[in-house]
Amino acid sequence: EAGRGCLCGPVVAAAVILPTDFTHPFLNDSKQLSEKKREEVRPFIEQNALAFSVSFVWQQEVDEINVLQASITGMHRAISGLKIIPEFIIVDGNKFRVYKKIPHETIVKGDAKYLSIAAASVLAKTYRDEYMAKIH
């Protein structure tokens, strides 16, 4: 997800299912990539993922439910938007609520360990950055 540490704008979450042979030389945690590299990687992810979905949790809802719950809600919405139902969910971080009884694992610093988490991180960050640029 992106936007959890910010004072304005939405929390954005993404879910990505990648083929087992997916690789990209620059793909890792979106916070470690330059803005230019994230923008280069994003279309590659979108074109090569088996499925992806991006969800926005708007500021009013964040204020109502708190930023942690907004993050989890965003993740659930992103998973719901996938055209393929995942058999197992891996989540960056250490907080998540069960989603439709699908088994899951939370992984601290997961974006440095799993390409699908890194890809979701890049999508969430670039979609949020794009939105914030449009409103400013």
For the cut 80, the answer to whether the pLDDT of residue 48 exceeds it is yes
- The label of the residue with tokens 């993050």 reads 71
Q: How sure is the predictor about 136, in pLDDT bands with cuts at 50, 70 and 90?
A: confident
pLDDT at 103 over 70: yes
Matching residue, tokens 């360990």: 113
Q: What pLDDT does residue 7 have?
A: 65
More confident residue, 99 or 31: 99
On average, the pLDDT of the chain sits at 94
Q: Above 80 in pLDDT, residue 6?
A: no
Kind and range of the H or E element at 15? strand 11-17
Provide the token pair at 67. Answer: 């930023």
> What pLDDT, on a 0 to 100 scale, did the predictor assign at position 5?
61
- Structural domains of the chain, ranges and CATH numbers in brackets: 11-135 (3.30.420.10)
